[in-house]
Amino acid sequence: MKLDISLVKKFALFAEMADGDIEAMLSHAVSRRIAAGDAVFEQGAPATHFFLLLNGRLKVSQVTPQGQQIIVRMVNPGDLFGIAKALQRSDYPGTALCVSEAVALCWPMELWSQMISQNPQLAATALTTIGQRLQEAHTRIREISTEEVERRVAHAVLRLSEQAGRAEGAGVRIDFPITRQDIAEMTGTTLHTVSRILSAWEGRGLVSGGRQKLLVRDVAGLKALAENEKMG
Amino acid sequence: MKLDISLVKKFALFAEMADGDIEAMLSHAVSRRIAAGDAVFEQGAPATHFFLLLNGRLKVSQVTPQGQQIIVRMVNPGDLFGIAKALQRSDYPGTALCVSEAVALCWPMELWSQMISQNPQLAATALTTIGQRLQEAHTRIREISTEEVERRVAHAVLRLSEQAGRAEGAGVRIDFPITRQDIAEMTGTTLHTVSRILSAWEGRGLVSGGRQKLLVRDVAGLKALAENEKMG
DNA sequence: GGCTTTCGTTGATGAATCGCAAATAAATCC
DNA sequence: GGATTTATTTGCGATTCATCAACGAAAGCC
């Protein structure tokens, strides 16, 4: 793929950057196509590159020493990922798996420090990126610690519909294949419980499901369920 | 208190910094003494300052819309805190409460951007600080999602003993007043459950308790409990 | 020193949700 | 198109843990 400034300027990282700086960054980048199901990098592997997702979706997961898996986050177009250096790590802390056909820009990790110091905008973006992830992580901790499963699932589904939703009829379709197991790993529960909850919601007309599919039919209803202490 | 380079150089933030830069930073700083029980800042208040803890301990907590409280983290000497600007926030996301007599350096938040851009070492420290917090947050998410309560409490207590432990006899004393409720808010459970768990541990000689006191008597035993899938 | 407040312990009960098992259904592979 | 794999649904029993309740003990306050 040809790397073109006009093509990438819509992404937050580049939006505020001077054209010269963008060109400098792009000149070191390689674009890479990733097929659904492929891993961009694996947990524990030496961190050789950092990335910017141009389109498609990835999920970043970790496996615990006991072999259980959790989904750390979804990566959406425009997101930096694999920036292990910013966390002062030499290996990737998680595995990045492509869930829908993606294209990413790749830079060798050696360039990270250099680019950071030469490019204040990149440094600022990296800092805010990580800052936002930290806040999301705290939100998640708060939810897992204090809310019961149904509300956690509601929050997770709403978040998905905001970050990766496409309008469909009166509702919002989650724009990539997602399993009950995925949702379970995002909310700290089991696929069985997620399945039961979604079934119940489907009965109430809040969502409609399908294999690896999810359509939120009643966003307001789900929000009420997520926010309100107890529904009447 | 007189601000002196030799006094602060032991802290990670200043360790790698040139003397001139340290002086420049200190020249804008005010040191502040905080009594146990006082709040340095409160959740939702406009973020007017950022801080470096010189000594003492703080706990940062958040209250949920439903009024439940969680402890986001403990602040130890040498830690930056209240750096809302780095998270692109104009208010403090949590409340910082002093648990043992503390001294902190304070800078007006307006200086943040300026100091960051003039001082690459501060930028780097801020980035790694937040990066480490992010990793801790992910660890916590993993634990709450996949582990049962007793092991989460074990991990939390071990972490406390590492970060704020003082050798005492064969064991490690947590060096500040801590309640069962605090531990519950760090692990996403209730004070009742924590109390039961600590009582059981005390019976097995792993810890010994007391009002707002905690002594880990058998670090290795606790570690085994925290790590192993199931004990024999 | 007595009173009040905060903190801790422990038992009993029940609800949330996990784990297991078995059946169904959709997609994929030759 | 049948066989296989991967997802999903659902019932039921087991278990963990929160909740309610009551009491005991330590620390702070006049």
Do B36 and B59 belong to one domain?
yes
Over chain B, what is the mean pLDDT? 93
Per the domain annotation, does B107 fall within a domain? Answer: yes
pLDDT confidence of residue A119: 85
Do B87 and B182 belong to one domain?
no
Protein-contacted positions of strand D (CB under 7 Å): 7-11, 16-21, 26-27
| Chain A 156-185 residues whose Cβ is under 7 Å from strand D | 179-181
- pLDDT tens, position by position, A207-218: 999 999 999 999
For the CA of B129 and the C1' of D19, the distance in angstroms is 39
- % of chain A surpassing 90 pLDDT: 79
- The band of B231, judged by pLDDT with boundaries at 50, 70 and 90, is very low
- Domain harbouring B114, CATH code: 2.60.120.10
Do B125 and B156 belong to one domain?
no
Alpha-carbon separation of residue A230 from A146, A147, A203, A225, A226 (angstroms): 14, 11, 19, 8, 9
- The band of B120, judged by pLDDT with boundaries at 50, 70 and 90, is confident
Which of B64, B133, B142 shows the shortest C-beta gap to A142?
B64
pLDDT confidence of residue A232: 38
**A231 in contact with B at a CB cutoff of 8 Å?**
no
Q: End of a domain among B134, B163, B190? A: B134
Over chain A, what is the mean pLDDT? 93
- pLDDT tens, position by position, A124-164: 888 889 999 999 999 999 999 999 999 999 999 999 999 99
**A6 in contact with B at a CB cutoff of 8 Å?**
no
Per the domain annotation, does B142 fall within a domain? Answer: no
Per the domain annotation, does A232 fall within a domain? Answer: no
- Domain harbouring B179, CATH code: 1.10.10.10
Region B181-189 average pLDDT: 98
Residue B162 phi, psi (nearest 5): -75, -40
pLDDT confidence of residue A72: 97
Do B118 and B198 belong to one domain?
no
pLDDT confidence of residue A121: 82
Buried/exposed code over A197-206 (b: 16+ C-beta within 10 A; e: otherwise): bbeebeeeeb
Tokens of B161: 């003993």
pLDDT confidence of residue B125: 85
pLDDT confidence of residue B232: 38
pLDDT confidence of residue A128: 87
Size of interface A-B (CB pairs under 8 A): 102
For the CA of A53 and the C1' of D30, the distance in angstroms is 67
**B149 in contact with A at a CB cutoff of 8 Å?**
no
Do B15 and B128 belong to one domain?
yes
* Contact assessment for residue A126 and residue B127, using Cβ atoms and an 8 Å cutoff: yes
Residues in chain B closer than 8 A to A123 (CB atoms): 123, 127
Do A127 and A165 belong to one domain?
no
User: What string of H, E and C letters represents the secondary structure of chain A?
Assistant: CCCCHHHHCCCHHHHCCCHHHHHHHHHCCEEEEECCCCEEECCCCECCEEEEEEEEEEEEEEECCCCCEEEEEEECCCCEECCHHHHCCCECCCEEEEEEEEEEEEEECCHHHHHHHHCHHHHHHHHHHHHHHHHHHHHHHHHHHHCCHHHHHHHHHHHHHHHHEEEECCEEEECCCCCHHHHHHHHCCCHHHHHHHHHHHHHCCCEECCCCCCEECCHHHHHHHHHCCCCC
**A27 in contact with B at a CB cutoff of 8 Å?**
no
ipTM of the complex: 0.94
Per the domain annotation, does A163 fall within a domain? Answer: yes
Region A165-187 average pLDDT: 97
Per the domain annotation, does A97 fall within a domain? Answer: yes
Across all strands, nucleotide nearest A181 (CA–C1'): D7
- The residue ranking higher by pLDDT, A195 or A85, is A195
Per the domain annotation, does B181 fall within a domain? Answer: yes
Q: How many CB atoms lie within 10 A of CB A150?
A: 18
Per-residue pLDDT at B230 exceeds 60: no
Per-residue pLDDT at A8 exceeds 50: yes
Region A155-176 average pLDDT: 96
Per the domain annotation, does B65 fall within a domain? Answer: yes
Tokens of A5: 């400034």
Residue found by looking up tokens 């700086």 in the block? A21
Residue A158 phi, psi (nearest 5): -65, -40
Do B130 and B69 belong to one domain?
yes
Per the domain annotation, does A193 fall within a domain? Answer: yes
pLDDT confidence of residue A1: 55
Q: How far apart are CA B35 and CA B98, in angstroms?
A: 7
Do A114 and A10 belong to one domain?
yes
Region A42-52 average pLDDT: 97
Per-residue pLDDT at A25 exceeds 50: yes
> A188 to chain B: nearest residue by CA?
B145
pLDDT confidence of residue A2: 65
Q: End of a domain among A108, A143, A178? A: A143
Do A92 and A172 belong to one domain?
no
Do A68 and A104 belong to one domain?
yes
- The residue ranking higher by pLDDT, A117 or B94, is B94
- Cα B80 to its chain centre, rounded Å, is 10
Across all strands, nucleotide nearest B193 (CA–C1'): D17
pLDDT confidence of residue A185: 98
Do B42 and B115 belong to one domain?
yes
- % of chain B surpassing 90 pLDDT: 79
Domain extent at residue B169: 147-227
Q: End of a domain among A143, A158, A177? A: A143
Range scoring the smallest mean pLDDT among A90-99, B51-60, B120-129, B146-155? B120-129
Number of domains in chain B: 2
Do B103 and B175 belong to one domain?
no
pLDDT confidence of residue A229: 59
Chain A contacts in chain B segment 121-140 (CB below 8 A):
123, 126-128, 130-135, 137-138, 140
Per-residue pLDDT at B12 exceeds 80: yes
- % of chain B surpassing 70 pLDDT: 97
